[in-house]
Chains A and B, each alone.
Chain A
Amino acid sequence: MADSLKDTGGLRVKRGLADMLKGGVIMDVTTVDQAKIAEDAGAVAVMALERVPADIRAEGGVARMADPERMVGIMEAVSIPVMAKCRIGHFVEAQVLQSLGVDYIDESEVLTPADEAHHVDKWDFTVPFVCGATNLGEALRRIGEGATMVRSKGEAGTGNVVEAVRHMRSISSSIRRLRSARPEELMAEAKELGAPYELVREVAQAGSLPVVLFTAGGVATPADAALMMQLGADGVFVGSGIYKSGDPALRARAIVEATTYFTDPDIIAKVSRGLGEPMVGISMGQIPEVDRLAQRGW
């Protein structure tokens, strides 16, 4: 078989890896030990970063891509895919992450944005990208730029699921609206959403995003994870919710199990018992508008 028939890094294999993560939990990790805890708990992938969002929120300062040394250590320690975050618009951090061989890049609002108007041109990369979105227009703009996986943003580092619910409901209800729109209405919808017309038409026809849709930001309990799955998420990102709790290993495992059996309250009840203290959490009223991470992204 001729090698010329081999196509590396195409759209289907980029979207394909995200398909393989469906029904699973992706966990933030900052050390090799945490990565091993995540893998043992049943995570489908880990997100290597410098600090979990709750610490970024507490400590402040500029949050950047993690030290490559740290990422390489984590990549060597686990057999599951390793994702890593770059700052919004920081295409050189993305180039570095691709060079290191990470499996997915998260162009993330959790880090301090490097560009206040533009995101990375993700078509320019072999490595696939996941991006956050608060609504359908934002999701489609990111897909238009080449993202092959979307996560609802929520509000990272709060242990409060309310924003994740808001964003997931917003995306789903906009998709339902497009499904019932007449063809001649789609250009006006595209204008309203600030999204590429071709993608708007694709979503209207399919009744779903053309890529996998995970949820993130504020998931702290097995029931939170199952709630987001029942609201239509394909899978769950968890970070601070695990490591700011009393027993991270036990909670991580329970969140994995509740994500798989998200329609089964008996199993969710069983795995939720005796997990120890959850993350304390922050109510949205305590976070001034300027400190909200979800508003980063354009």
Chain B
Amino acid sequence: MKIGVLGLQGDVAEHVAALETAGATPVVVRRVDELGSVDGLVIPGGESTTIGKLLARFGLLEPLRRRVQSGMPVLGTCAGLILMASDVIGAEDAPHRLGVLDVSVRRNAYGRQVDSFEAAIDVAGIDRPVQVAFIRAPAIERIGDGVEVLAEWEDRPVLVRQKHMLASSFHPEITGETAIHRAFVAVATQNRET
């Protein structure tokens, strides 16, 4: 299972390591031609404004959107969630986005860096708490009809799924966890078989 990690900016290496542990073959994707060969894609943590601008400037935004819309599995964490969201609420917009996931998010809603935290959260389908990190995290404030909530923290959704797309407010990739990556690899495997 060849899973790409969007490598324009952010914690690419951490996702590559987590995917390897989860049994996938990760490849870093920076160019359109590299996008064609992957069975799924992780959009990592980083700065959503920076990654969005680079996607637009280097002609990746449209090809990536088309592949996701035609069924390529995607996992977006933190900045990745923002880039996938159909709607960003408030002044802190991220103008260059895929807009493929039917949710409204608010950037930096959990506060500035001094408010960043780790927590053990319950995730649907995983039989033990999963240790994750919220770093200047975005909040999911609205979900569409086709969106399933897989985890909540303080009464807000923090991990959601819409068909072949998974997205989280938090980082599952910097705490040594691989449970979320295993779940994503399972989605990609199922997707390829059907």
**What separation, in Å, do the CA atoms of A275 and B118 have in the docked complex?**
43
B101 contacts the other chain (Cβ, under 8 Å)? no
Contact A19 B107 (CB under 8 A): no
B193 at the interface (CB under 8 A from A): no
B175 at the interface (CB under 8 A from A): yes
B29 CB to nearest chain A CB (Å): 12
Give the interface residue-count category, chain A.
35 or more
Q: A1-44: which residues lie under 8 A (CB-CB) from chain B?
A: 1, 3, 5-10, 12-17, 19-24, 39, 42-44
CB-contacts of A114-144 with B (<8 A): 126-128
A246-282: CB near B (< 8 Å → 1, else 0) gives 0000000000110011000000000000000000000
Q: Is the C-beta of A81 less than 8 angstroms from some C-beta in chain B? A: yes
Say yes or no for A155: interface residue by CB 8 A criterion. no
Question: Given A13-B116, A13-B133, A260-B30, are A20 and B47 neighbors across the interface (CB < 8 Å)?
Answer: yes
Q: Report the number of A-B residue pairs with Cβ-Cβ less than 8 Å.
A: 130
| CB-CB under 8 A for A104 and B118, given A1-B154, A12-B133, A39-B49 | no
Binds A, one of B9-17, B18-26, B139-147, B179-187: B9-17
A20, B46: Cβ atoms closer than 8 Å: yes
Number of interface residues of B (CB under 8 A): 46
Residues of chain A in range 65-96 having any CB-CB distance to chain B below 8 Å = 79-81
> Does B33 sit within 8 A of A, measured CB to CB?
no
Q: Are B54 and A81 within 8 A (Cβ)?
A: no
- For residue A101, CB closer than 8 A to chain B, the reply is yes
CA gap between A257 and B12 in the complex, in Å: 17
Least distance between B144 CB and chain A CB atoms (Å): 24
Q: Which of chain A's residues have a CB closer than 8 A to the CB of B135?
A: 13, 16-17, 20
Interfacial chain B residues near A16, Cβ < 8 Å: 11, 116, 133, 135, 171, 174
Q: Given contacts A5-B120, A12-B174, is CB(A23)–CB(B7) below 8 Å?
A: yes
B127 within 8 A of A: no
Interface assignment of B45: CB less than 8 Å from any CB of chain A: yes
Within 8 A of A (CB), among B17-55: 30, 45-47, 49-50, 53-54
